Amino acid sequence: MAVFPSRDREAFFEHWSRIMLDRSVITRVIEIDRQVAGNLLCFGPLERREVGYWLGRDFCGKGIATEALAKFLGEVPERPLVAHVAEHNLASRRVLEKCGFNHSGGDPAFGTLDGETVPGLIFSLG
Ligand SMILES: CC(C)(COP(=O)(O)OP(=O)(O)OC[C@H]1O[C@@H](n2cnc3c(N)ncnc32)[C@H](O)[C@@H]1OP(=O)(O)O)[C@@H](O)C(=O)NCCC(=O)NCCS
């Protein structure tokens, strides 16, 4: 869905250790019934702040990303915000739309999947 493959446990914690040391990044855990369901973050230079999110597979399709992102947007004052999403990631596009983002551009070389270039879309808020 996201084009970026999920990391194994060691790579995941190594990646997140770096993210959490970066004071410019705002991070949140999505917790459902005391279980970690996913994460949200806001990152990037002041003039182009970006949001991203990721859910564990068991938690997808239950409205969790929309609710979590809506709450996160209430806590993060920066505007405008952008989000990059693979064109084929219809669920993520819908999450952004439901949270008030508008399609504002394209990202022709968003990522690579099975050796093929995958186009992306840019969504903006504010
Ligand atoms: C994409 C992701 C965040 C969606 O989370 P989620 O909690 O399932 O999303 P929600 O349930 O809040 O909303 C999904 C919406 O997409 C819709 N949707 C899901 N699959 C769809 C599809 N194939 N076609 C059209 N709409 C689809 C749902 O119907 C829902 O919209 P609705 O409420 O209007 O019915 C989650 O699957 C995920 O983390 N995926 C892996 C990482 C990723 O893609 N991150 C985003 C990178 S930009």
pLDDT tens-digit map of 23-44:
999 999 999 999 999 999 999 9
85 is a domain residue: yes
pLDDT at residue 72 is higher than 80: yes
105 is a domain residue: yes
Output the CA 18–ligand 1 centroid distance in Å. Answer: 27
Residue appearing with tokens 């439901």: 98
From atom 24 of ligand 1, which residue's Cα is the shortest distance away? 90
Q: Which two tokens stand for residue 121?
A: 């879309």
Asked whether 18 lines ligand 1 (CB < 6 A), one says no
Q: What is the pLDDT of residue 109?
A: 86
Output the CA 76–ligand 1 centroid distance in Å. Answer: 21
Q: Which atom of ligand 1 lies closest to the CA of 67?
A: 12
Q: Structure pTM? A: 0.93
4 is a domain residue: no
Tell me, what CATH number does 33's domain have?
3.40.630.30
Packing angle between helix 90-98 and helix 64-75, nearest 10 degrees? Answer: 40
From atom 21 of ligand 1, which residue's Cα is the shortest distance away? 91
- Taking the C-alpha atoms of residue 55 and residue 60, their distance in angstroms, rounded to an integer, is 6
- Taking the C-alpha atoms of residue 75 and residue 65, their distance in angstroms, rounded to an integer, is 15
Domain region containing 13: 9-125
106 is a domain residue: yes
Split into its structural domains, the chain has a count of 1
Output the CA 39–ligand 1 centroid distance in Å. Answer: 14
The helix/strand/coil state of 20 is helix
From atom 20 of ligand 1, which residue's Cα is the shortest distance away? 91
Residue 15, phi-psi category: left (phi > 0), alpha (psi -120 to 50), beta (remainder): alpha
Distance of CA 87 to the CA centre of its chain: 14
Mean pLDDT calculated for residue range 89-115: 94
Residue type, 74: G
Output the CA 66–ligand 1 centroid distance in Å. Answer: 8
Measured CA distances, 104 to 41, 65, 79 (Å)? 20, 21, 14
pLDDT above 90 coverage of the chain, percent: 87
Beta strands 102-113; 81-86: pairing state: unpaired
